[in-house]
Structure 1
Amino acid sequence: MSAIRQRILENMQKFSRAMIGAVLFLPVIGLILALSSVLTNPTLISETSFLHQSGQLLGDTFWPLFGNLGLLFCVGISYGLAKDKKTEVALVSVMCFIMFLGANHSWLEHIHGIAEKINGEYYGTGQTQLLGFVVVDMGVFLGIILGCTIAWVHNKVSNIELPGALSMYGGAKLTLVAMTPVVIFYAIAFTWIWPFMTHGIGALTGFMKNAGVAGVFVYGFFEKFLIPTGLHHFVWSPFQLTQIGGTLNVDGQVVSGTQAIFLAYMRHPDLTPVMNDALRFSQQGMTTIFGLAGASLAFYHTAKPEKKMMAKAILLPAIITSMLTGITEPIEFTFLFVSPLLWVIHATLTAASQAICDIFTVRPWGASGLIEFLIYNLPLPVSLTRWPGYVLIGIGQFAVYYVIFRTLVVKLNLKTPGREDDDNVKLYSKADYRKKVGNPQSVTDEIINGLGGKENIISVDNCFTRLRVVIKNMDLVDDLILKSTGANGVVRNRNEVQVIYGVKVGQVRSRVDSWLAEN
């Protein structure tokens, strides 16, 4: 059974990595839409001004991306899960998505199942209009299901070469051929199946709402607690991106998920007196701004006097990254491996702060760092988001983190930054990294060496903060060498190594890919 559980975990992590490919773009899209909302806010900028028109153009340019997240996820997931010929599978995924729309629309017409519009819109009918086709409204789940299926079929058939005159239909083109009956089957089947799924999603959403503060606490705890496994994406993404997080009718258009709902309020701040209750599930960023700052200060104050400068060099960049961008892993991984107890307390305090926000109906956009918080919330009426309450709760969270973390570090004699017994390991790691910063090639050589050499590497990928490498022999991986390249931590999982680099992981991934291609 342990082998089966391990295989399931591996598959979930593969899916999580693939999904991140599309998710990585959403913060950029969201920030641009937030800027658009600021520029089109008539209380700030005159509707006749050039800035207002520019903001309107920005919004009209980027809002269709949120309206077609299914297509983005179909491409991103199929690309991420495909073992090879990734460019071809991305093209196939676009074609299959459009094929599904055409087939589903045709079948609905055939069975006379196209819904009548309500007030000129399809809201509430279970159907929607995508790229000109009226289809069953599956939201982002259509892209997820199609993306996974396409990747699976592609990995099975893309290396098959057909003989003779049929050879032109082999390779990746065979994926499209093989997917044709699957797409038609899905288009017909989901006509009947998805309405039941919609009821199930509605029931889950209703449960989370009816669970009240307890539901918010459970969400907040597991969203944080599962970060080391990489499975936390399964917790936050359904709420932020799908109907599970809630839906809202805006000008006859349905928006789904907490982020899209908040952005809709930025365009129409008078929708309701208080922010939609979907935003109960978007307050996890408080910890990135306040809580971890308190923990970092506790680590600094409890460091040995002779190591305070070293601790500061480790903690300051990590906490600045956390506060500004919401990328928390560089600071979190300084204590995760030292004390699992601190990690459990960290997850509990994160959940508690979200629950307190829910109790006092504090509902700003607080899912990430300070930059997003300011851009999203300041243009809106304070009465709508009640963001000052968020700041007050955050200050309290800072104090609680500081007291609890400082007490536990001292009482349990935890080896947090600056309290290590072995000077050489930690000091060597950071000093060596600083020497190599000016020589990226040297750092890349060390990364490859730490992973056991090129022959030990099967594949390389990355998410927000981690370099994810599938390897042949775990015994050849050297954690100390990897940490000497600037990594905040190393996570091992069967045949995969996750090296925590933080926000610079994209640059690291590019250099590793180039090194592998050139050598």
Structure 2
Amino acid sequence: MKEYLQKLGKSLMMPISIIAAAGIFLGLASVLQNPAIVGEMFTSMSAVQNVIGFIRAIVGALFGNLPILFAASVAIGLAKGEKTTAAFSAIIGFILFHITISYFLNLNEINATTMSVDALVAGGGSTLEATRTASLYETVLGVFTYRMNVFGGVVVGILVAAVHNRFYKTELPMAISYFGGKRLVPIMTTVTVPILGILMYYVWPILGQGIEGIGNIIAESGSFGVFLFGFIERLLVPTGLHHILNQLVRFTPIGGVAMLDGEQIVGALNIFNRLLTESNPDMSVMREATRFLAQGKIPFMVFGLPAACFAMFQTARPGEKKRVKALLLAAAIASFTTGITEPIEFSFIFVSPILFIFHALMSGLSFMLMSLLGVSIGNVQGGAIDLIVFGALRGTSTNWFFAVLIGIFYAAAYYFVFRYVILKRNVKTPGRELETDEVSTPAKVADPSELGSIIVNALGGRENIQSIDNCFTRLRLVLVDTNKIDEAILKTTGAVGVMKLDDKNVQVVYGPQVEGIALKVKDSANMND
């Protein structure tokens, strides 16, 4: 189950990478169309504004079709092979899923006409009740269905991946062999997904209420709920399951529900991005949404962790400082600019529980303080790019300066706490490893041209590798035997941490460059899809 959840969490990150980039364009576009920021003259330039409007239309289309993107992404991430077939089948499954639900809704005279606000008001309901009832449904790719948002895409992707893994290697009798193998997957998808659609027709109203209830509990918890989210999110980093928690607040009622122009928008990130498209967004609603987004990460990602890197560098032994300088500098820059923190976190979370708990508590406190101070900085990463684009450039109404002020205190706190704990408890952070470790670690850094083969050999050879995958920062592997790993060799390839989850599953932390490394490893192991 742990392995499966980690794969699921990783598969959810593919659309997030698109959303993060698209969100930056949307943020810049909203700034350039705001006369209070760029002036009336600039916003009156029709040619320029038409280009900006075009960009917003493209980005809006991405956000408007997130469910089907998640369906394809989950199917790709969970498929064991022939991933293109899995993606194709996921699209088929997604359409059939909602057509099935729509058909059964229509049997009960629930459709776009009968569930419109006007029709419900004409039937005797109040405008408020009619709006709430109408918000339970939406039109997806032209199909009237339940408003399931990203959840619908995820459940379809999970089912399609299971069907794919079961049938993509199936051989049929000679007479019908043409329909075997990967061609059988979309056929079986057509058979199985409508069953899921019928099931969700009955289950979703109950499940949706349950998810909304959890969201209400968090909302009623106020600042403590925000603190708890930030604290737990960091505690889950070693397992990789923090991705799942993040998606819950970004795309489900747990992250908030807002009525905008008569339409129900669900999820913190969805609400924020929708508000960015408005010329005069409701800042109170936006602040509620951004409580779980980038603003809570900025103090410790932009300021705290880079300061921790400086403390680790200063406390390294004199002869080791040159060696760890490049590693810590690269990790600090990644955290500062993009919010990618795992190369730093994996340098201390396994060698010092005290520093790990301190970091998680500071994360929760950061989220809570940003919420209490009324900061409104959205998007998903939490680096300086988000601080500038979604904070400073949008003006003082975002209260972005509080993130900087708190961040300065965070830098001091992280530096002094890390320095004190490392020296007081002799923590083995980079540059302070045991002498025996140093002897077993080759001094020569791996040749980049042979990086793939070196990593494969360090993992026990091609015959020891069952599957190779990666997320934003980690190489995720399933091995025959994790005891065959040579961690010393892996460190020469740029790995900053090796985490053995069990006898078969291991994660090697490389940082943002892991995508290229994964391709080289797959090439060397002859395991490309």
Q: Structure 2-normalised TM-score? A: 0.90
Alignment of 1:300 onto 2:313: yes
Instruction: Quickly say closer, same or farther: Cα 1:36–1:348, change in 2 above 3 A.
Output: same
The equivalent position to 2:484 in structure 1, one of 476, 479, 487, is: 476
Residues in 2 aligned to 1:14 and 1:178: alpha-carbon distance in whole angstroms: 23
Judged with a 3 Å threshold, the aligned counterparts in structure 2 of structure 1 residues 247 and 427 are, in CA distance, closer, same or farther, namely farther
- CA drift at 1:248: 2.8
In structure 1, what is the Cα distance between the partners aligned to 2:239 and 2:357? 14
CA contact 1:123–1:253 (8 Å) conserved in 2: no
Equivalent residue, structure 2, for 1:21: 14
Residue 296 of structure 1 deviates from its aligned partner by: 1.6
1:508 aligns to 2:500 (yes or no): no
Match of 1:432 among 444, 448, 456: 444
Residue 125 of structure 2 is aligned to residue 117 of structure 1: no
The answer on whether the counterparts of 1:303 and 1:419 sit within 8 Å (CA) in structure 2 is yes
The answer for the alignment partner of 2:373 in structure 1 is 360
CA contact (8 A) 1:286 1:366 kept: no
Asked if the contact 2:460–2:485 (Cα under 8 Å) also holds between the matched residues in 1, the reply is yes
Q: What is aligned with 2:123?
A: none
The residue identity in structure 2 corresponding to 1:127 is Y
Aligned to 1:222: 232
Q: Report how far residue 424 of structure 1 moved.
A: 7.1
Match of residue 288 from structure 2? 277
Which of 190, 197, 200 in structure 1 is aligned with 2:207? 197
C-alpha deviations, 1:430-486, integer Å up to 9, x for none?
x522xx4xx422222211111111111111100000011111122211111111101
Alignment match of 2:348 (pick from 318, 335, 341): 335
Matches within 5 A, 1:307-456: 307-365=320-378, 367=380, 368-383=382-397, 385-422=398-435, 425=438, 432-433=444-445, 436=446, 439-456=447-464
Taking the aligned partners of 2:496 and 2:459, their CA distance within structure 1 comes to: 15
CA separation of 1:490 and 1:162: change in aligned 2, threshold 3 A: same
Question: Are the equivalent residues in 2 in contact too, given 1:285–1:366 (CA < 8 A)?
Answer: no
How far off is 1:128 after superposition? 0.3
Alpha-carbon distance between aligned partners in 2 of 1:478 and 1:172, rounded to the nearest angstrom: 37
Counterparts of 1:366 and 1:167, CA distance in 2: 49
Classify the secondary structure of the residue corresponding to 2:427.
coil
Residue 266 to residue 380, structure 1, CA distance change in 2 (3 Å): farther
Q: Say which is worse superposed, 509-518 or 120-129, in terms of deviation.
A: 120-129
2:127 maps to none
* Counterpart for residue 162 of structure 1: 172
State the distance in 2 between where 1:457 and 1:473 align: 9
- Taking a change above 3 Å as real, the CA distance of residues 163 and 304 of structure 1, as seen in their structure-2 partners, is closer
Quick check: 2:168–2:184 contact (8 Å CA) kept in 1?
Answer: yes
Is the 8 Å Cα contact of residues 364 and 390 (structure 1) preserved in structure 2?
no
1:10 aligns with 2:10: no
SS in 2 for 1:416: coil
**CA offsets 1:165-191 (integer angstroms, 9 cap, x no match):** 322222233223323343222333323
Whole-angstrom CA distance in 2 between matches of 1:366 and 1:191:
32
Which residue of structure 2 lines up, in the alignment, with residue 517 of structure 1?
Answer: 526
What SS does structure 2 have at the residue aligned with 1:27? helix
Deviates more, 1:20-29 or 1:470-479: 20-29
Matching residue of 1:103: 100
* In structure 2, distance between residues paired with 1:84 and 1:306: 47
Aligned counterparts of 2:105 and 2:439: Cα–Cα separation in 1: 64
CA deviation profile, 1:343-382 (whole Å, cap 9, x unmatched): 1111111111211222222232274210122112233242
1: distance between equivalents of 2:374 and 2:527? 55
In the other structure, the counterpart of 1:5 is none
The amino acid across from 1:378 in the alignment is A
Question: Displacement, 1:67?
Answer: 1.4
Instruction: Give the secondary-structure state (helix, strand or coil) at the position aligned to 1:336.
Output: coil
Write the deviation string for residues 132-173 of structure 1: whole angstroms up to 9, x where unpaired: 111111110111111111111121122222224322222233
Say which is worse superposed, 92-101 or 165-174, in terms of deviation.
Answer: 165-174
Moved more, 124-133 or 171-180: 171-180
Q: Give the letter for the 1:475 counterpart.
A: N
- What is the CA–CA distance in structure 1 between the aligned matches of 2:205 and 2:509, rounded to whole Å? 42
2: CA distance, partners of 1:168 / 1:122: 51
Separation (CA, whole Å) in 2 of partners of 1:156 and 1:402 = 52
State the 1:426 CA deviation.
8.6
- Which amino acid is the alignment partner of residue 237 of structure 2? I
What's the offset of the Cα at 1:124? 4.8
The match for 1:133 is: 143
Alignment match of 1:39 (pick from 32, 39, 47)? 32
Cα shift readout 1:45-78 (whole Å, capped 9, x = no counterpart)? 3143322111110111121211111101111111
Distance 2:244 2:402 in 1: 29
Q: Which residue of 2 aligns with 1:498?
A: 507
Residue 315 of structure 2 contacts residue 422 of structure 2 at CA under 8 Å; is this kept in 1?
yes
Change in CA separation of 1:424 and 1:9 when aligned onto 2, cut-off 3 Å: closer
Deviates more, 1:474-483 or 1:365-374: 365-374
> Contact conserved, 1:40 with 1:267, CA < 8 A, in 2?
no
SS at match of 1:432: coil
Kindly indicate whether the alpha-carbon contact (under 8 Å) linking 1:266 and 1:380 is maintained by their aligned counterparts in 2: no
1:518 Cα deviation from its structure 2 partner: 9.0
Is the contact made by 2:149 and 2:251 (CA closer than 8 Å) also made in structure 1?
Answer: no
2:155 is matched with which residue: 145, 160, 169?
A: 145
Can you give the 5+ residue segments of structure 1 that lack an aligned partner in the other structure? 1-7
Aligned residues: 506
1:514 positional shift: 1.9
Range that drifts further, 36-45 or 474-483: 36-45
Amino acid at match of 2:16: V
Contact 1:450-1:482 within 8 A present in 2 as well? yes
TM-score (norm 1): 0.92
Q: Percent identity?
A: 35
Contact kept, 8 Å, 1:329 with 1:502, in 2: the verdict is yes
How much has 1:427 moved relative to structure 2? 11
Task: Give the superposition deviation at 1:249.
Answer: 3.2
Deviation at 1:517, TM superposition (A): 2.7
Q: What corresponds to 2:126 in structure 1? A: none
